[in-house]
Structure 1
Amino acid sequence: MQVVRLGVIGLGNMGKGHIGYLLKGEVSGVVVSAVSDSVPERLQWAKEQLGDNVGLYTDPYELMDSGTVDGVLIATPHYSHPELAIASFERGLHVLCEKPAGVYTKQVREMNEAGSRANVKFSMMYNQRTNPIYVKLKELIDAGELGEVKRTNWIITNWYRSQSYYDSGTWRATWAGEGGGVLLNQDPHQLDLWQWTISMMPKRVRAFCYFGKHRNIEVEDDVTAFVEYENGATGVFVTTTGEAPGTNRLEISGERGKIVIENHTLTFWRLRVPEPEFNKQFTGGFGEPECWKCEIPVKGSYPDHKGITQNFVNAILFDEPLIAPGEEGIKGLMLSNAMLLSTWTDGWVDLPIDEELFYHHLQERIDKSAYRKGK
């Protein structure tokens, strides 16, 4: 195979965005050979952009069966991601899936199992993993520069969304149409980076989700979660779409200091002597380890979405390791599911979560959703 023939399923904002940089030739070794969408106007747009040699399909399964694609990029509504991915795996097609991996982990686990049985490449569109600042953070932690992680805190409240944004589509911010709110729509990248950069998932979660607190919507728009890790570390995750101005600050503390990412800057407050060692040796009344403020240089470009797409293509053509393996999509979703389940059950939730219990609670809300009643 010299060129990957890619089928794009879903021509909403994300699907069109991906086609845009592919048309400009910003990803090598790939050609868009087919597209699928149920909206005629979107297919017409694709025809005008891509020409007459590209297959146009209203049914994604016809695209999969066409014999004109080697892999697919799934950019459809959240609920359909696992179903379409599984169907692609069954046909021997490579899969690049937009975030989130799905709405509930039971569904995504089935997708991962299908992917593991297929001899294909499977990647998630976690484009933030190509951001040099988070790559550097992970590099520092993996190299032991911070020592053992003791605390993580992420305040990510700069996801401001107005009521008019939610009113722009009847499916938006509904349990039946979207499956969740800020955790599922805005925060999947942060939830992924939260666990990816430190290579740890929490062992349990206690969260407080508020539903329609700031806007007239069904789903969560304000969340504060507390987590505990197996090594004794703790963490806090705070997010909302209802504050202005918002904050985006990630702080990770360890035995050798703390690292802060804020305003596109990575600062390492580095202890000259690790805190446990200082504590063991210090005999005075008041004192603390000497600390150096280090502005860490972050080099390299940020290829964003096209970086993940290029990596996916390279994995198919040259067996390049995936930056965002598809099976890892369940991790961030596990965190958001756990936060919702903790709120619904008013208690601690152990990870991995009780997937049947989560699905039961979600289904209750889907059944009462205004989107379902309006369809």
Structure 2
Amino acid sequence: MDKVRIGIIGMGNIGKHHASYLMAGKVNRCELVAVCSTSPGKLQSYKPLKIYDDAEKLIKSGEIDAVLIATPHYQHTSLGIAALEAGLHIMVEKPISAHKADAERLIAAHRKHKELVFAGMFQLRCEPRYLKIQKLIQSGELGDIARLSWIMTDWYRTEAYYSSGGWRATWKGEGGGVLLNQCLHNLDVLQWLCGMPSSVRGFCQLGRYHNIEVEDNVTSYLEYPNGATGVFITSTGEAPGTNRFEIAGTKGKIVLEKDKLHFTRNEADMIEFSKTSKVGFMKPEVWNVEIPFENAPAPHATLMQNFVDAILDGAPLIAPGEDGLYSVELANVMLYSSLIDKAVKMPMDSGAFEAKLNELVTNSKHQKKVVEVSTEDFTKSFNR
């Protein structure tokens, strides 16, 4: 094979975004040959390509070598498994599954087909700002992580957004709210940079700001195996909102806010300084460094190029699909902890959360009026 034939399942806003750069030739050695949607109106402009209204038909068509799954959350697992069993490589949009138990099922299916490439669309891993933070951590410049906080409350959404689809912001349609929908990329970055916590206590408010049944306001407390602590705060109802990511290590502090990355570096490790200093109120001297970075020009296309290179050349994946388990688990455990009103030790019991989610789906009485919302309302979300 010298070219990968790709199909897209799900032609909503993000599916159309992927189709746009693939059709524009932004990814080498691949060709978008087919698109699939259960909404015929979304396919009219793609007539030069193969058109499918049924995902199973596309998967079994023999027309493609790989599939990009960009459907609502609950379909990611079943479609991913079906594609793997049909011998297709898969790229799955976030989240890889609606909950941890389903993510485990998808990962188990891939382990039966290790010759196939399974990647997750976590494009923030391509952003220089996070790559530079990763370098500071991995090089030891930051020292041991002692504390972290991420206030991510600039995901403001209106009632019109939530009313744009009957599946949106429901237990049955999405499996969660701001954590699973808006924050998956941030939760992926959090665990990618800092690892997984050992314990989580979540405080989630369901439908505080909107006429929805899922969480739209969250504060979570995290504890890590090395004793570090953290806080993750998010909301879709707060305006103007804040986006501030801070990591304090024994050798300094990193702050990412308002498109600026600031590193305050201690001249000495704070623990060693405390043990050796003869003066009670002295602190280590610091260097203040502004670290410049550019935005990644086309992060989605970069991940797709990596996916193609992995298929054709065996290149290591930037975002292996199995890594998608961690962000799903973090989203789930913050909600689950709040629902049962106690801290949860990690790893979380995926079966217990699945049972709780099924209970929420069964007891749901939420009804929403669907309204039309323009595509432009969503374009700012593509690179977040």
Q: TM-score range by the shorter chain?
A: over 0.9
**Aligned residue type for 2:79:** L
Of 205, 212, 217, the residue aligned with 2:200 is 205
**Structure 2 CA distance for aligned equivalents of residues 161 and 300 of structure 1:** 24
8 Å CA contact 1:22–1:32 kept in 2: the answer is yes
- Deviation per residue, 1:316-370 (Å, 9 max, x gap): 1111111000000000111111111101110011111111111111111111224
**Structure 2 CA distance for aligned equivalents of residues 208 and 364 of structure 1:** 19
- For the pair 1:319 / 2:314, whether they are aligned, the reply is yes
Partner of 2:8: 8
Partner of 1:60: 55
Partner of 1:220: 215
**Aligned residue type for 1:129:** R
**Aligned residue type for 1:182:** V
SS of residue paired to 1:19: helix
- For the pair 1:103 / 2:98, whether they are aligned, the reply is yes
8 Å CA contact 1:228–1:235 kept in 2: the answer is yes
- For the pair 1:186 / 2:157, whether they are aligned, the reply is no
**Structure 1 CA distance for aligned equivalents of residues 338 and 45 of structure 2:** 43
**Aligned residue type for 1:331:** Y
**Could you say if the C-alpha distance between residues 277 and 67 of structure 1 is closer, same or farther in structure 2, counting changes exceeding 3 Å?**
same
Q: CA deviation at 1:27?
A: 1.0
**Structure 2 CA distance for aligned equivalents of residues 179 and 300 of structure 1:** 31
Of 341, 353, 364, the residue aligned with 1:358 is 353
SS of residue paired to 1:182: coil
**Aligned residue type for 2:45:** W
- Identity score, percent: 48
Q: CA deviation at 1:298?
A: 2.5
Partner of 1:131: 127
After TM superposition, the score normalised by the length of structure 1 is 0.96
8 Å CA contact 2:250–2:270 kept in 1: the answer is yes
- For the pair 1:293 / 2:258, whether they are aligned, the reply is no
Q: For residues 36-115 of structure 1, what are the structure 2 equivalents within 5 Å?
A: 36-47=36-47, 51=48, 54-115=49-110
- For the pair 1:264 / 2:264, whether they are aligned, the reply is no
More deviation in 364-373 or 255-264? 364-373
- For the pair 1:346 / 2:338, whether they are aligned, the reply is no
Of 255, 263, 268, the residue aligned with 2:250 is 255
> Gapped runs of 5+ residues in structure 2?
370-384
Number of aligned residues: 369
Q: For residues 107-186 of structure 1, what are the structure 2 equivalents within 5 Å?
A: 107-118=102-113, 119-186=115-182
SS of residue paired to 1:283: coil
Partner of 1:243: 238
Q: CA deviation at 1:171?
A: 1.4
**Structure 2 CA distance for aligned equivalents of residues 146 and 299 of structure 1:** 22
**Structure 2 CA distance for aligned equivalents of residues 313 and 371 of structure 1:** 42
8 Å CA contact 1:177–1:372 kept in 2: the answer is no
- For the pair 1:23 / 2:23, whether they are aligned, the reply is yes
SS of residue paired to 1:197: helix
**Structure 2 CA distance for aligned equivalents of residues 371 and 66 of structure 1:** 38
8 Å CA contact 2:213–2:366 kept in 1: the answer is no
8 Å CA contact 2:6–2:31 kept in 1: the answer is yes
> Gapped runs of 5+ residues in structure 1?
none
- Deviation per residue, 1:190-212 (Å, 9 max, x gap): 000001012x1000100100000
**Could you say if the C-alpha distance between residues 371 and 117 of structure 1 is closer, same or farther in structure 2, counting changes exceeding 3 Å?**
farther
**Structure 2 CA distance for aligned equivalents of residues 142 and 122 of structure 1:** 26
Q: CA deviation at 1:260?
A: 0.7
SS of residue paired to 1:158: coil
Q: CA deviation at 1:299?
A: 5.3
8 Å CA contact 1:130–1:302 kept in 2: the answer is no
Q: CA deviation at 1:178?
A: 1.4
SS of residue paired to 2:310: helix
**Structure 2 CA distance for aligned equivalents of residues 369 and 299 of structure 1:** 45
8 Å CA contact 1:157–1:248 kept in 2: the answer is yes
8 Å CA contact 2:148–2:246 kept in 1: the answer is yes
**Aligned residue type for 1:228:** E
Q: CA deviation at 1:373?
A: 10
**Structure 2 CA distance for aligned equivalents of residues 175 and 372 of structure 1:** 12
8 Å CA contact 1:88–1:95 kept in 2: the answer is yes
**Structure 2 CA distance for aligned equivalents of residues 371 and 62 of structure 1:** 33
**Structure 2 CA distance for aligned equivalents of residues 350 and 285 of structure 1:** 37
Q: CA deviation at 1:300?
A: 7.3
SS of residue paired to 1:218: coil
**Structure 1 CA distance for aligned equivalents of residues 238 and 38 of structure 2:** 36
**Structure 2 CA distance for aligned equivalents of residues 293 and 320 of structure 1:** 38
